[in-house]
Chain A
């Protein structure tokens, strides 16, 4: 408080609008940006250029690679791996829809019904982030084990007959089937759906619900006409935050799936780290990126939300 008492008597302060613009170096924003942006350019943008060039190279690991504008790598990659691409989109899409269906009630509960439990529930949603997601994914092996309770219950209810007929499971097993992979993906990316949903639901003025009730809207009508439309920004960013990482994931397919459930991520990982076929791997990851960008752009246009994150 010393600064206040030491200060000379205050001159009448001018109204805020008349205040002359503070003198600030014109270059200040650039100095603030420089280190971080340089980091992103060198370690994010530049690598993309390197990868683009790698994808059109030919050669071998021993003799070295040359840029030969060999675009055929792209065609070969699509021809060889289109099932994995389709599978990635199908799994990630299903997981995203499940995340929305499962996440919405919980986000709604935290935003409107939790009362003094709100912070505790929020902590319980975030805290699993700090337990390695690999350990938690491995735990699903125990939960979905052949002799475990989940398989037992599903079998008794004859659910597995239906899912096997649909191709989601195989016989009496859940592990090493698409169902297990989708379950793992849903689980792993669920918090990325809940948090944006909660943020956008929390912003909704509770009086709007009362107004809808006063106008004789039934609870479900209120939800359909008021709550859900107002939560659209959260729905859009939540689905993107779930779908994008899920479509590139290879951990769930590897730990919970089998060779029949391989996704693009698995192929890219194998090509890059085991087979060391860099051009094919680079082409595959570019196709994945382009595909996702296309889907995301289309989706954002359709849902009409521009302000993301």
Chain B
């Protein structure tokens, strides 16, 4: 009976950890199979241990090209969406104006729409305008769908800001620009950073909208999609593993820094 009670008391923890396992299982498989040496075109079955792919990650034609293209697009899309989204978030939180309801719905709709619908409609626009599909159409699309997520992230942070801090700055004779740069922006920064990080991840990983609007341009997700038909090189697993590790390290580093800062303040 002791075992049963122990199990019952920890049921939530066990179930939660099982879900975490389900979430991480593919990442573990991706990592393990990055050390595989497959015999055929596909890397779905374990054959033998090898570090070849890790020592030569760019050994497959077009792979690193598509990777650097995706990084560039993600960087520009993050910049565009973060600047535009932060401006909208400030306008929505700080001002009362007429079209507020309409603006809020316009921000909400792209998040409540299946990607394939946005992707298809954007393609009809580009086809009607006779636009050349490629880098620019991908960038336009990515800024469009990242924008709403940035607005939501920044809005949450700005809303919880104490407006008296800015009033205090102005009482101390700070001009509007000085107040913004030295008080408002630093306080809003975590929200802006969260929005930017989200935009980067969304843009870098986006497949559906890119699939419709890329023409013959190949981003990294498009390369992976193509390889699922033609044959998956092990290098894809290497890059997937590396991205996971980089993401974990980045977040861990960020947490260590903010912890240290909090401790210094205390």
Contacts and interface: CB of A to CB of B under 8 A. Distances in A.
A309 B111 contact: yes
B91 A35 contact: no
Interface stretch (B15-23, B48-56, B57-65, B185-193): B15-23
B158 interface: no
A296 interface: yes
A32 B151 CA distance: 12
B51 to A, nearest CB: 19
A255 B118 CA distance: 22
Contact of A132 (B121, B143, B147, B221): B221
A232 interface: no
A233 interface: no
Given A37-B106, A142-B29, A255-B228, A130 B12 contact: no
Given A37-B88, A105-B16, A250-B208, A281 B144 contact: no
Interface size class of chain A, counting residues whose CB lies under 8 Å from the partner chain: 35 or more
B240 A131 contact: yes
Interface string A135-155: 111111111010100000000
Contact of B205 (A16, A37, A133, A190): A133
Given A244-B114, A272-B212, A285-B120, A121 B20 contact: yes
B1 interface: no
A30 B151 CA distance: 16
B243 A124 contact: no
Given A39-B143, A109-B13, A244 B112 contact: yes
Contact of B167 (A16, A108, A133): A16
B22 A187 contact: yes
A247 B113 CA distance: 10
B6 interface: no
A129 B205 contact: yes
A33 B208 contact: no
21 contacts: A3-B173, A28-B91, A36-B85, A36-B88, A40-B144, A40-B148, A43-B141, A51-B124, A106-B19, A109-B12, A123-B251, A127-B247, A129-B201, A132-B243, A135-B240, A138-B232, A143-B26, A145-B44, A244-B114, A285-B117, A286-B117
B114 A247 contact: yes
A102 B22 contact: yes
Nearest to B140: A43
A285 B211 CA distance: 16
Contacts of A282: 120-121, 124
A127 to B, nearest CB: 5
A145 B27 contact: no
B205 A132 contact: yes
Interface string A104-137: 0111111001000001010111111111111111
